[in-house]
Amino acid sequence: NGTSQQQTTEMLVWEELLSSPESEIFGPRARSASDAGVLRRKGHLKEQDKFIQFLLDMHETHTSLEVMEKVDRWIAEHRREPKTSKLRRMVPTLGTFYTPLNMVKAFLVYDEFFALSRRQYVPPNFAELRHILNIAQVQASADTLKLVTFDADGTLYADGAHMQHDNDMIRLIVRLMRRGVHVAIVTAAGYPGDAEKFEQRVEGLLAAFAALDLPKDVIDKFHIMGGECNYLLRVSPNFRLEFVEEEDWKSPEMVAWKQEDIDDLLTKAESMLLDGAARLRLPVDVLRKERAVGVIPKGPTIYEVLEDLAIVVQINLRSDLPFCAFNGGNDVFVDVGNKSLGLEALMNHLCLAPEQVLHVGDRFTDSGNDSATRDCCSILWVANPEETFFFIHLLLDQSSGHRPEAYLE
């Protein structure tokens, strides 16, 4: 029947994950979910989330299944009464659940392979609970999804890299678009008036669009939101990127931003970044753009130093304009606006509601620029591009009416 067929599909997906000899999702040694490559290169500050920490703490007095059963009830209550829910009292910073979540169902899928319920002394770790939340969100969103947005660096490809022709995500993005799901890359990278620089970052994807000769109704479902929220691009009939006119998609709030206020914000931010770098004895180069300013270390440093630099600016910078100060892993930038504004503008442009949208990113910590997207849609928190591939693969397999689709190179 349909249920047993779906269970078989889920089993095959997980078996594929665990049997991959080169998998980086859970590390190259005896696979541990806390060994994701991101923790090796960026430290445990990457694991910051009060809700997941709350779930971890519950395991001191509950089994994993008991935790998930209680959380299912609490999430349902929180969706009905978000201001007075029990979860709100226990995790005051908790945001909105835009879809129902079945944590028990997701836990049972995960438990099949990671034996959480059969362990005697080792409770789930942060990464494992993050994975269970991701599975629950995939299961909840699969049949209603109309827009998937992705962070770029660290999510679709490695930090500092571009989307090359051999990127595994290309075929999944094409499958999403062919199913009628809009796909957008929402990134801090901003190149005002220079669509070619955006093209260089997704060269392999655009080449695939052209090689497959995707029809207009399919390529119209792809966008790039650059500079957090400042530039929107689409694909032209000749498979090149082109800017969408600002009046066609920007919110009235964004259109009203004055240049003098933008300049003032960036000047203050630059001064704070340089003062912070001097305090931390961190030699940096400054890069100032039309809607952003950042500092790039001249030599090796550690994640915690950049984290401190970003958070100091977050706390102390004052401006009438919204801004995003974030640790990019290899630099610290301050952008005018944030991803929440960009995503909301795109959702309005496409006439979509929050429960129809899913953002995938790797920076949901206090200093991460993906965090703001939680204000407007559901999220998948990934640690690296390999995890992105896995969860989007799972998402496609979860969709009702799933059938094998040919992807021709």
Q: Confirm if 163 and 199 have CB atoms less than 8 A apart.
A: no
Give one DSSP letter per residue of 240-279, joined into a string: -EEEPPGGGT--HHHHT--HHHHHHHHHHHHHHHHHHHHH
| Main-chain phi, psi angles of 293, to 5 degrees | -145, 145
Q: What gap in Å lies between CA 122 and CA 238, rounded to an integer? A: 55
Q: Confirm if 25 and 17 have CB atoms less than 8 A apart.
A: yes
Please tell me the total number of residues recorded for the chain in this structure.
Answer: 409
State the catalytic residue, choosing from 153, 159, 331, 362.
153
SS3 299: coil
* ∠ Cα 155 158 163 (to 5°): 80
Q: Residue 339 has which token pair?
A: 């991803």
Q: How many CB atoms lie within 10 A of CB 395?
A: 25
Tell me if residue 366 is catalytic.
Answer: no
The residue whose two tokens read 């000899």 is 21
Q: Confirm if 305 and 195 have CB atoms less than 8 A apart.
A: no
Q: Residue 188 has which token pair?
A: 């801090």
Inter-CA distances, 176 with 58, 222, 237, 295, Å: 37, 10, 19, 36
| Main-chain phi, psi angles of 153, to 5 degrees | -60, 130
Report the amino acid identity of residue 187: T
| Closest C-alpha to 342, from 240, 233, 269, 261 | 233
Q: What gap in Å lies between CA 294 and CA 266, rounded to an integer? A: 9
CA atoms within 13 A on the CB side of 305: 18
Q: What gap in Å lies between CA 107 and CA 135, rounded to an integer? A: 8
Tell me if residue 143 is catalytic.
Answer: no
| Main-chain phi, psi angles of 72, to 5 degrees | -55, -45
**Residues with catalytic function:** 151, 153
